[in-house]
Amino acid sequence: MTATAGYGQALDLITRVGGVRGAMLVSAEDGIVVAEQLMEGIKGSAVAALAASLATRLRRAMEAAGVGASLFWHLQAEGGALLVVPTPNGILVVAVAEPDVNVGLVRLELLRAAEVVG
Amino acid sequence: MSTRAVEQWTLEPLVKFVKEAGARLVLVMTSAGQVLAQHGFSRAMDVMSAAALGAAIMASTDEIARQLQQPPFAALNHQGDKHGIFLAGVKTGRGRLIALVAYDLDASSLGLVQLFFEQLAADLQAASPKDSVPKQVLAADFERELSDSLNTLFGR
Q: Is B10 on the interface with A (CB under 8 A)?
A: no
- Cα separation of B1 and A105, whole Å? 47
Chain A nearest-CA distance from B125, in A, is: 21
Instruction: Confirm whether B121 is domain-assigned.
Output: yes
Q: Is A104 left (phi over 0), alpha (psi -120 to 50) or beta?
A: alpha
Instruction: Confirm whether B19 is domain-assigned.
Output: yes
pLDDT digits (tens, 9 = 90+) for B95-130: 899 999 999 998 999 999 999 999 999 999 999 987
Contacts of A80 (CB under 8 A, 6+ apart): A21, A96, A97, A98, A99
Neighbours of B5 (CB within 10 A): 18
pLDDT digits (tens, 9 = 90+) for B28-70: 999 999 999 999 987 767 888 899 999 999 999 999 999 999 9
Contact A97, A81 (CB under 8 A): yes
List alpha helices for chain A, DSSP H.
3-15, 44-65, 103-117
User: Which residue in B has a C-alpha nearest to residue A33's C-alpha?
Assistant: B111
Q: Is B137 on the interface with A (CB under 8 A)?
A: no
At A27, is the pLDDT very low, low, confident or very high (cuts 50, 70, 90)?
A: very high
> B109 vs A45: CB contact, 8 Å cut-off?
no
Chain B nearest-CA distance from A72, in A, is: 21
Phi and psi at residue A71, in whole multiples of 5°? -105, -25
> A27 vs B111: CB contact, 8 Å cut-off?
yes
Determine the residue among B108, B115, B117, B118 to mutate to test chain A binding: the one whose Cβ has the most chain A Cβ atoms within 10 Å. B115
Chain A nearest-CA distance from B110, in A, is: 5
Name chain B contacts of A52, Cβ cutoff 8 Å. 109, 111-112
Instruction: Confirm whether B80 is domain-assigned.
Output: yes
Q: Which of residues 82-111 of B touch A (CB under 8 A)?
A: 105, 108-111
What ipTM, to 2 d.p.?
0.80
- Cα separation of A18 and A97, whole Å? 9
Q: Which of A117, A116, A118, A107 is nearest to A14 (CA)?
A: A107
User: Which residue in B has a C-alpha nearest to residue A59's C-alpha?
Assistant: B106
Chain B nearest-CA distance from A50, in A, is: 7
Length of chain B: 156
pLDDT for the residue numbered B41:
86
At B131, is the pLDDT very low, low, confident or very high (cuts 50, 70, 90)?
A: low
Determine the residue among A25, A26, A27, A32 to mutate to test chain B binding: the one whose Cβ has the most chain B Cβ atoms within 10 Å. A32
> Structural domain tally of chain B?
1
User: Which residue in A has a C-alpha nearest to residue B108's C-alpha?
Assistant: A53
Instruction: Confirm whether B23 is domain-assigned.
Output: yes
- Whole-model pTM: value is 0.81
- Cα separation of A93 and A114, whole Å? 6
pLDDT for the residue numbered B98:
95
Report all structural domains of chain A as residue ranges with CATH numbers, in order of start: 3-117 (3.30.450.30)
Average pLDDT, rounded, for chain A: 92
Domain that includes residue B63, residue range: 3-150
Instruction: Confirm whether B146 is domain-assigned.
Output: yes
Instruction: Confirm whether B155 is domain-assigned.
Output: no
Q: How far is CA A31 from CA A44, A54, A69, B155, in A?
A: 11, 10, 18, 36
Domain containing B89 — which CATH number? 3.30.450.30
pLDDT digits (tens, 9 = 90+) for A68-115: 888 999 999 999 999 999 999 999 999 999 999 999 999 999 999 999
DSSP state of B48: H
